[in-house]
């Protein structure tokens, strides 16, 4: 039987991922470990394959957002420490976290008491991580209550404080005023506990942007997500470390036709042909993760040549003006994100067109697009 050809797919360059990991390790302070953030299916790249690759390339631990994400990694045989960045607030969650040997984030003393009671009943000790709010106004105990928080958790049985951490709200901003204020608060929080009779926990504050921008934010480990996948949190950080995009998106031409002047294209006829037009239909749409709001603003590459998308992007298909490629045939490959000859289209291009961020673009590619791993890195 002839092998079925995919209409659209995502390629994941594992060697680029490994190289990004190594490049980030190079810029870290000598004592600083790398925690790879692989939440949201590793930003759409595939959590298991990404976790295996970054751990082999030098990451010492992983971070995810939900219990289910941690279970997936454990079921795949990944044994590295895994921090759950999200809040875990029920006994059932804590029981599962203990079973799968994951490590929860504790955001307040009352949750810590519930976790300790659960672990006492299970007769187990659980590593936990304490989250401080230094200015994100999201999860965590206020930084000025750090001593009270740490003291109360340290006195609970069956819990081991592995780390104390916070999250930066504006690390990608060239204006570092707010980031510096958060660091000042974090330092104040640390000072509150330096004389407590407890084992010294690890400290971490930096995300990708802060890890790249300033070594003073490195502490004992950094939590790096976007940079691993080859994208920069902000343009001004690009000169500081060489990164290669890991993800590319391709689709195939499913039909080619010529339409006469005055013909409308796709739903709502948002595009009208002004002359004879060569149109290619491509088998990918918003149900795959190509935002409908890119309609009539998207450019793709065929044979190393940029061509415009026309009409409304539909659930499963989109249309291109391929009048400059008169011999285009069904089955030819269209590059939506990636490198095609001298043409490079990045998630940043899409994000800028939409007024959003590249994180959202990467996480938007749906699972009906197969992930194809290429360039398996060599083991050290």
Please name every residue paired with 84 in a beta bridge, in sequence order, or none if there are none: 64
Q: What is the DSSP string of 197-209?
A: SSPPPEEE---HH
Q: Per this entry, what is the length of the chain?
A: 380
| pLDDT tier, 36 (very low <50, low <70, confident <90, very high otherwise) | very high
Q: Is 43 a catalytic residue?
A: no
| pLDDT tier, 375 (very low <50, low <70, confident <90, very high otherwise) | confident
| pLDDT (0 to 100) of residue 195 | 86
pTM, entire model: 0.95
The pLDDT of residue 5 is above 80: no
pLDDT digits (tens, 9 = 90+) for 38-96: 999 999 999 999 999 999 999 999 999 999 999 999 999 999 999 999 999 899 999 99
Q: Are 299 and 345 in contact (CB under 8 A)?
A: yes
| Pairing mode of beta strands 126-133, 141-142 | parallel
What is the b/e burial string over 215-229, where b = at least 16 CB atoms within 10 angstroms of the residue's CB?
Answer: eebbbbbbbbbbbbb
Beta strand spans in 171-273 (E): 202-204, 221-224, 247-259, 264-265, 271-272
Percentage of the chain exceeding pLDDT 70: 98
The pLDDT of residue 158 is above 90: yes
| pLDDT tier, 138 (very low <50, low <70, confident <90, very high otherwise) | very high
Neighbours of 175 (CB within 10 A): 8
Q: Is 39 a catalytic residue?
A: yes
What is the b/e burial string over 233-262, where b = at least 16 CB atoms within 10 angstroms of the residue's CB?
Answer: beeebeeebebebbbbbbbbbbebeeeeee
* Candidate list 26, 240, 257, 267, residue with the active-site label: 267
CA nearest neighbour of 231 among 204, 206, 208: 208
| pLDDT (0 to 100) of residue 287 | 98
Q: Which residue segments constitute the domains of the chain, with CATH numbers given? A: 14-230 (3.20.20.10), 247-345 (2.40.37.10)
Tokens standing for residue 148: 């009270």
Provide mean pLDDT across the span 338-347: 97
CA nearest neighbour of 302 among 279, 286, 270, 269: 279
Q: Are 154 and 161 in contact (CB under 8 A)?
A: yes
pLDDT digits (tens, 9 = 90+) for 295-342: 999 999 999 999 999 999 999 999 999 999 999 999 999 999 999 999
Provide mean pLDDT across the span 201-215: 98
| pLDDT (0 to 100) of residue 1 | 43
pLDDT digits (tens, 9 = 90+) for 211-239: 999 999 999 999 999 999 999 999 999 99
The pLDDT of residue 379 is above 90: no
């Amino acid at each position: 039987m002839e092998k079925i050809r995919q209409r659209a797919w995502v390629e994941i360059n594992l060697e680029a991922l490994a190289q990004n990991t190594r490049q980030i390790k190079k810029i870290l302070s000598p004592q600083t470990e790398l925690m790879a953030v692989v939440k949201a299916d590793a930003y759409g790249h595939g959590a298991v394959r990404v976790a295996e690759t970054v751990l082999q390339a030098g990451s010492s631990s992983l971070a995810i957002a939900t219990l289910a994400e941690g279970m997936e990694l454990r079921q795949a045989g990944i044994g590295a420490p895994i921090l759950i960045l999200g809040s875990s607030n029920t006994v059932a969650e804590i029981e599962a976290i203990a079973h799968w040997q994951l490590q929860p984030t504790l955001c307040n003393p009352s949750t810590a008491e519930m976790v300790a009671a659960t672990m006492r009943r299970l007769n187990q000790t659980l590593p936990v991580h304490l989250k401080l709010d230094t200015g994100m106004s999201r999860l965590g105990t206020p930084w000025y209550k750090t001593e009270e928080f740490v003291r109360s958790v340290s006195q609970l049985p069956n819990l081991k404080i592995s780390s104390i951490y916070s999250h930066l709200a504006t690390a990608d901003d060239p204006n570092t005023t707010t980031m510096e204020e958060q660091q000042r608060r974090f330092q104040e929080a640390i000072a509150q506990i330096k004389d407590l009779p407890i084992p010294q926990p690890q400290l971490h504050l930096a995300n990708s942007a802060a890890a790249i921008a300033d070594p003073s934010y490195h502490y004992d480990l950094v939590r790096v997500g976007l940079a691993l996948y080859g994208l920069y949190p902000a343009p001004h950080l690009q000169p500081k470390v060489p990164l290669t995009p890991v993800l590319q998106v391709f689709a195939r031409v499913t039909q080619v036709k010529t339409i006469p002047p005055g013909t409308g294209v796709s739903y709502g006829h948002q595009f009208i042909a002004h002359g004879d037009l060569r149109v290619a239909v491509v088998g990918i749409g918003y149900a795959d993760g190509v935002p409908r709001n890119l309609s009539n603003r998207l450019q793709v590459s065929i044979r190393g040549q940029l061509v415009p998308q026309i009409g409304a992007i539909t659930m499963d298909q989109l249309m291109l003006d391929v009048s400059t490629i008169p011999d285009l045939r069904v089955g030819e490959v269209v590059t939506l994100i990636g490198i095609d000859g001298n043409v490079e289209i990045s998630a940043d291009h899409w994000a800028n067109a939409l007024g959003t961020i590249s994180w959202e673009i990467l996480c938007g590619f749906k699972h009906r697009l197969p992930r194809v791993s290429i360039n398996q890195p060599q083991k050290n």
